[in-house]
Amino acid sequence: MAVYTDVSDEELGAFIEGYDVGRLLSFKGIAEGVENSNFLVHTDAASFILTLYEKRVNPNDLPYFLNLLQHLADKGLSCPQPVAASGGALLGELAGRPAALVTFLEGMWVKRPKTVHCGELGKAMARLHLAGQDYAGFRKNALDVHGWRPLFDQCSARSNEVHEGLADEIAAELSHLEASWPSDLPSGVIHADLFPDNVFFLGQELSGLIDFYFACNDAFAYDIAICLNAWCFEVDGAFNVTKAKALLKGYASVRPLTADESKALPILSRGAALRFLLTRLYDWLSVPEGAMVTPKDPLEYLKKLRFHQTVKNSEAYGLVA
Ligand SMILES: Nc1ncnc2c1ncn2[C@@H]1O[C@H](COP(=O)(O)OP(=O)(O)O)[C@@H](O)[C@H]1O
Ligand SMILES: N[C@@H](CCOP(=O)(O)O)C(=O)O
């Protein structure tokens, strides 16, 4: 459960009174997520999600995220919309944390996505990339190839506690990626954390995307690579090329990939695997005392990384040359 910050009934009641959202009926901490503290809030008018932004979120980035949600919703994308307080502000403060209220999105995330879900995800991601093209905000990806080494430096000394030889394996991969990371790929707003738990479905229909707190400006194809990692491996660690094919086909049906993007998928997928290996490793080694959170397994991403290291070209992901 990701609740890092406790909020009393009185504090939350006073906070909600600052919004024109009806009378507070109940609220509870949400037993999912790892980054921020989330509460489901019911009023006599509707349901909302209250987020208190924690460690990895830079408060200066919050206007980028909240305005982006508004921009995407205006473009017809289904995502939470920030709710303005009675005074007009999208961002407030609660229990010493920056806090925002957003609309509740109907749907459920799918624990074991099937091929059909991967296809829908591909289409939605491409729509997001197109809808973000005229977004005025800019946010550099803090966890791009340049951000990985500082993260590794903070946990390299203890990485072998998690897996023997892990420090050397990461160090070698990092050097390789730093030397061969592609530049000049088509870029714009990407979600950068479009995992199954951030994509809601109603039946087989995708009902919306949530959790835009890693969103940034980076290569579109890097977002695809993140999704190949997050959606196309089976529980036993096997890569499912049928799912990858569906994801890429769905994406290309809305926004065709350029030749450079197709060619870059193997290296981008390696990078995406390393990025999540590193953040998970860091989190694994530094769970804040008293926090209700279940850290995610870093070694899942080591296995994925090793798969991508064997890939020779994009055909391995189901792309036909
Ligand atoms: N707008 C929303 N509508 C409905 N449920 C939401 C919404 N935002 C978050 N949730 C619920 O809260 C959970 C955690 O949210 P998430 O943004 O993924 O947290 P974190 O950033 O901490 O990972 C989600 O899995 C979902 O169940
Ligand atoms: N998706 C990341 C962790 C971020 O968690 P989320 O709940 O905000 O998606 C991972 O799986 O490592």
Q: What is the CATH number of the domain that holds 69?
A: 3.30.200.20
pLDDT of residue 70: 96
Tokens for 95, please give them: 């229990």
Contact 206/110 with Cβ under 8 angstroms?
no
Q: What residue numbers bound the domain in which 45 lies? A: 9-103
pLDDT of residue 1: 39
Question: Would residue 221 count as lying in a domain?
Answer: yes
Which residues of the chain fall below pLDDT 70? 1-3, 34, 288-293, 321
User: Cα(1)–Cα(35) distance, rounded to whole angstroms?
Assistant: 10
Q: Give the chain's largest Cα–Cα span.
A: 61
Question: Which domain-ending residue is among 53, 81, 103?
Answer: 103
Q: Which regions of 5-84 does DSSP assign to beta strands (E)? A: 24-29, 37-43, 47-52
pLDDT of residue 170: 98
Contact 48/65 with Cβ under 8 angstroms?
no
Residue whose C-alpha is closest to residue 176's, from 279, 283, 300, 308: 308
Question: Would residue 278 count as lying in a domain?
Answer: yes
Question: Which domain-ending residue is among 74, 103, 132?
Answer: 103
| Ligand 1 neighbour 33 (Cβ under 6 A) | yes
User: Cα(209)–Cα(79) distance, rounded to whole angstroms?
Assistant: 5
Say which ligand is closest to the CA of 78.
1
Q: Please give the ipTM for the structure prediction.
A: 0.93
Count up the domains in the chain and report the number.
2
**Burial class, 318, CB count within 10 angstroms (exposed 0-12 / middle 13-18 / buried 19+):** buried
The answer to whether residues 261 and 297 belong to one domain is: yes
Ligand 1: which of 210, 212, 292, 293 to mutate, most ligand atoms within 8 Å of CB?
210
Residues 6+ positions from 126 with CB-CB distance below 8 Å: 250, 251, 252, 253, 254, 255
Which ranges of the chain does DSSP label H, i.e. alpha helix?
9-17, 62-74, 115-131, 145-162, 166-180, 220-231, 241-254, 259-285, 298-310
Q: Which residues lie with the beta carbon below 6 Å from any ligand 2 atom?
A: 33-35, 193, 195, 197-198, 211, 276, 279-280, 296
The answer to whether residues 177 and 284 belong to one domain is: yes
pLDDT of residue 291: 64
pLDDT of residue 321: 63
How many angstroms separate the alpha carbon of residue 51 from the centre of ligand 1? 9
Instruction: Kindly report the protein residue whose alpha carbon is nearest to atom 19 of ligand 1.
Output: 33
Strand bridging mode 37-43 / 24-29: antiparallel
The answer to whether residues 185 and 149 belong to one domain is: yes
The answer to whether residues 135 and 180 belong to one domain is: yes
User: Cα(215)–Cα(57) distance, rounded to whole angstroms?
Assistant: 11
